[in-house]
């Protein structure tokens, strides 16, 4: 069973996603009643706690719900939304590579070598 802070955190995560506020993890954790010290050192772990995950599922904010929404958009949505969904699916599956990056290194040899 989720604690009061875990419930508040789950609600804040959902509101943040819906409103487009884009608070970072630390800000979300602090806004839910956790200390700044805890949030700065372990915001990610706090957000991954079982109680938070359970509350997110109760709020309909889980993978299965997201899949249903994505499927509905692909069937009935606007063309630009379909493209966004497809890009997100490719990102999640590891198939999306918007840019290629090449890293070059150069060995510098001095006269002393």
Per-residue pLDDT tens for 21-51? 789 999 999 999 999 999 999 999 999 999 9
For residues 30 and 36, the answer to whether their CB atoms sit within 8 Å is: yes
Residue 33, sorted as left (phi over 0), alpha (psi -120 to 50) or beta, turns out to be: left
Q: Which fold has domain 4-58?
A: Arc Repressor Mutant, subunit A (1.10.10)
Q: How confident is the model at residue 103 (pLDDT cuts 50, 70, 90)?
A: confident
So where are the chain's domains?
A: 4-58, 68-113
Looking at the chain, list the stretches that DSSP marks H as alpha helix, in order from N- to C-terminal side.
4-19, 25-31, 36-47, 50-58, 63-76, 79-93
Query: What is this structure's pTM?
Result: 0.65
């Amino acid at each position: 069973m989720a604690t009061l802070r875990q419930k508040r955190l789950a609600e804040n995560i959902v509101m943040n996603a819906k409103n487009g506020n884009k608070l970072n993890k630390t800000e979300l954790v602090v806004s839910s009643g956790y200390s700044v010290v805890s949030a700065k050192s372990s915001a990610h772990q706090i957000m991954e706690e079982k109680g938070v995950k359970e509350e997110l599922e109760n709020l309909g904010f889980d993978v299965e719900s997201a899949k249903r929404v994505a499927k509905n958009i692909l069937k009935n949505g606007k063309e630009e939304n379909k493209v966004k969904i497809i890009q997100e699916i490719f990102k999640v599956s590891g198939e999306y590579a918007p840019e290629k990056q090449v890293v070059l290194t150069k060995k510098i040899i001095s006269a002393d070598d």
